[in-house]
Amino acid sequence: MQLLNKDLELNQQRLAAEEAEQKLKETEFKNISAQQQGSIQKLTLENQLKQQQQLRTWLIVGSALLALLLGFIIWNNRQLRFQNIALQAALLEGQTTERKRVAADLHDALGSTLSSLRWSIGAIDKNKLEPKQQEVYQHVQSTIEQAYDQVRLLSHNLLPEELEKQGLWKALEMLIKKLNRNTPVTFSLQLPDNPAQLNSKTEFELYSICLELINNILKHAHATEASISFTQLNGQFKLTVSDNGKGITKHTPKGKGQHNIDERVQTLGGQRYIISNENGLTNEVVFSA
C-alpha cells in the first residue's frame, strides 16, 4: 500500500513537473511570438514609411512635371496669341495697301479717262445736232457724269482718309453725306451717344461690311430709303442696315459680295441675321467688342 501511494505521489510530481515545463515552453513561445510580432510590426511600419516617402517623392515629381507642362502650355498660348496678333496686323496692313493701290488706280486711270471723256463730250456743240442726236448726247453726257461720280465715290470709299485718321464713326458720317449727295437713295445714320473706340481691324471690317451692304442696296434693292444704325450694350455691338426695297427670297442666289460679308462677320467672331419681308430687307450683325 505504501508503495502504491509512493508511485502515485511520484506520478503526480512527474505530471506537475511536465505541466510546469509545458507552461514554461508556452511562456517562452509566447515571448518569442511577441518578439516576432514586434519585428513584423516594425518591418511593416518601416515599409509603410518607405511607401509614404516614395509616394511623396512621386507626388513632388509629378507636381513639378505638371507645373512645367502648364507653364509650357501657357507660354505656347501666349506665343500663339502674339503670332495671331502679328498675322492680323499684317493682313490688315496688306488689305490697306491693296485698297490704297486700287483706289489710286481707279482715281488716276479710270477717273482720268472719264474726265477726258467729259471734256471731249463738252466740246461738242449740241446746237448743231439733230433732235435725236441731242437725246443721245444728253444720255451719254449724263452717263459719263454718273460714272465719273461713282468712280470718285468708290475710289474714296475703298479706304477713306477719315477712317485712317478719325476712326469708323466719322468715316460713316462722311460716307452718308456723300451717298445722299450722289445717289437716289436717302440714307440715315444712327450712332450710340458715346460710341466705344474700336481697334483698327474691327473698324476696317465693319466699314467694309457697311460698304458691301450699301452697294447691294444701290445695285439690287430698288429702294428709296435706307438706314444704318449701331447700338451697344454691355460690350455687345449690333450693326443694323435696312432698306425699303424689294427684299430677297430663299431662292435668291448668294453672290461673292454676300460671301465676303459672311467672312468678315466670322473674322469679328459675330453672327449675321437676314430679315426680308414686304417692308424691305434688314441685315443685322452682332458681335462682342
CB contact at 8 A, 217 and 257:
no
Amino acid symbol at 115: S
Is 59 part of a structural domain of the chain?
A: no
- Separation between Cα atoms, residue 158 and residue 106, nearest integer Å: 10
Ordered DSSP codes for 115-163: HHHHHHHHTS-GGGS-HHHHHHHHHHHHHHHHHHHHHHHHHHHHS-HHH
Amino acid symbol at 200: S
- Report which DSSP code applies to 198: P
Is 236 part of a structural domain of the chain?
A: yes
- Report which DSSP code applies to 186: E
Classify residue 243 as left (phi > 0), alpha (psi -120 to 50) or beta.
beta
- C-alpha cell, 54: 516614395
- Whole-number pLDDT of residue 187: 96
- Separation between Cα atoms, residue 16 and residue 20, nearest integer Å: 6
Domain limits at 211? 161-289
Can you give the CATH number for the domain in which 217 is found?
Answer: 3.30.565.10
Is 12 part of a structural domain of the chain?
A: no
Q: Which helix (H) or strand (E) holds 243?
A: strand 236-243
Count of the separate structural domains present in the chain? 1
Is 125 part of a structural domain of the chain?
A: no
- Separation between Cα atoms, residue 205 and residue 263, nearest integer Å: 10
Question: Distance from first CA to last CA of the chain, Å, rounded?
Answer: 124
Size of the chain in residues:
289
Three-state DSSP class for residue 181: helix
Within 8 A by CB and 6+ apart from 196, the residues are 232, 237, 289
Is 252 part of a structural domain of the chain?
A: yes
Entry pTM: 0.55
Q: Mark the ranges of the chain whose per-residue pLDDT is less than 50.
A: none
- Whole-number pLDDT of residue 117: 76
- Separation between Cα atoms, residue 287 and residue 289, nearest integer Å: 7
Is 281 part of a structural domain of the chain?
A: yes
Is 237 part of a structural domain of the chain?
A: yes
- Separation between Cα atoms, residue 74 and residue 78, nearest integer Å: 6
φ and ψ of 236, to 5 deg: -100, 135
Is 167 part of a structural domain of the chain?
A: yes
